[in-house]
Amino acid sequence: MKLFFMSIAIFTLSFLSLQNYSYAQKVEEGYKYKTWKFLYEEKCSKCHTLDRVFADVKTKAEWQQCVTEMIKKNPQWITPEEGAHIVDEIVKSKDGVVASMPQKKKYANARLLFIGICTRCHSSHRILTKNKTRDEWEETVLRMCDNAPDLFHDGDVSAITDFLAKRSNIMKEDTASDIMVKKCLICHEGDRILLEQKSKRDWERCVTEMRKITRKKLKKDWFTHHEFMIIVDLLVKTQGLETASK
């Protein structure tokens, strides 16, 4: 009888060990970052689904015009050299063209640095919902650096940590954070919003346009004038041209 119970105990321990190993494997797999075959996958998918990108057939000239418009919107995210490379990839004018740009890229802007590195594994929505101290953000970013060291330059951990901590403090103290999550992120990916940087007047025009679109589609106001004002204030505070110049 003792031998029987010992056998059961050994079996149970072995089963639990296998479960723990399997769980560890799943956790490890969850931290694998995305690698891109083509540059357009990494750059264009931050604002658009790739289905949308290729919904219409375009000539090379039309693709050049389209990519040029995207460069005008976010010149720090897509450089002219990258734009030319993306057009070549899409129209396949060069045999075997792949994303030859280095994976490890240096961004002067911490906001773009965060998008370029962190959103390979995680949704940027987290930045609008997570409430962490600077030390907690640093621990998180260091863990990500350990998982994907070939993506980080020296100083990137500190720059991303500072960005996350500063933005978390703003979001934590600002009532607009809840409104943005409920009103803006229902239609737009967080990456797309984060990539934009505008003057106060341009943010007002942008949010006004969103009010018009939602009013037309829903036959009612999606957000009030008061919500409009505090969303604009938050966008200017976190992604305004005036903020960038300071």
Selected residue with higher pLDDT from 138 and 38: 138
Is residue 152 located within the same domain as residue 219? no
Closest CA to 229 of 214, 209, 213, 207: 207
- What is the number of structural domains in the chain? 3
Q: Is residue 57 part of a domain?
A: yes
- The predicted structure's pLDDT at residue 97: 59
Is residue 179 located within the same domain as residue 215? yes
- The predicted structure's pLDDT at residue 20: 45
- The predicted structure's pLDDT at residue 211: 86
Is residue 166 located within the same domain as residue 179? no
Q: Is residue 1 part of a domain?
A: no
Handedness of CA 183, 189, 191, 192 (dihedral sign): negative
Is residue 165 located within the same domain as residue 180? no
State how far the alpha carbon of 154 is from the alpha carbons of 105, 145, 150, 151, 158, in Å: 11, 11, 11, 10, 9
CB environment 159-173: b (16+ within 10 A), e (fewer): bbbebbbebbeebee
Give the pLDDT band (50/70/90) at residue 218: confident
Selected residue with higher pLDDT from 131 and 59: 59
Q: Are 218 and 147 in contact (CB under 8 A)?
A: no
Q: Is residue 76 part of a domain?
A: yes
Q: Is residue 242 part of a domain?
A: yes
Closest CA to 189 of 107, 127, 103: 127
Closest CA to 114 of 154, 70, 161, 82: 161
Q: Which of 47, 65, 91 is the last residue of a domain?
A: 91
Per-residue pLDDT at 25 exceeds 60: no
113-132 confidence digits (pLDDT tens): 888 888 877 777 767 667 78
Q: Is residue 25 part of a domain?
A: no
| Phi, psi dihedrals of residue 186, rounded to the nearest 5° | -70, -25
Q: Are 186 and 193 in contact (CB under 8 A)?
A: no
CATH of the domain at 107: 1.10.760.10
- The predicted structure's pLDDT at residue 24: 42
175-189 confidence digits (pLDDT tens): 667 777 777 877 777
Average pLDDT over residues 13-32: 45
Q: Is residue 5 part of a domain?
A: no
DSSP 74: -
Q: Is residue 4 part of a domain?
A: no
Is residue 194 located within the same domain as residue 240? yes
Is residue 182 located within the same domain as residue 154? no
Average pLDDT, the chain: 76
Is residue 193 located within the same domain as residue 228? yes
Distance CA 2, CA 237 (A): 70
- The predicted structure's pLDDT at residue 166: 84
Give the pLDDT band (50/70/90) at residue 239: confident
Closest CA to 109 of 237, 212, 197: 197
Q: Is residue 12 part of a domain?
A: no
Give the pLDDT band (50/70/90) at residue 197: confident
Q: Which of 121, 144, 173 is the last residue of a domain?
A: 173
Is residue 169 located within the same domain as residue 182? no
Is residue 226 located within the same domain as residue 210? yes
Is residue 134 located within the same domain as residue 167? yes
Is residue 168 located within the same domain as residue 119? yes
Q: Quick one: the chain helix, strand, coil %, rounded to 5?
A: 65, 0, 30
State how far the alpha carbon of 221 is from the alpha carbons of 13, 179, 206, 233, in Å: 59, 14, 16, 19
Both tokens of 10, joined, read: 């050994």
| Phi, psi dihedrals of residue 198, rounded to the nearest 5° | -140, 165
Classify residue 38 by burial, with Cβ atoms within 10 Å: 0-12, 13-18, 19+: middle
Q: Which of 91, 111, 132 is the last residue of a domain?
A: 91
| Structural domain harbouring 67 | 39-91
- The predicted structure's pLDDT at residue 23: 41
Both tokens of 63, joined, read: 């693709």
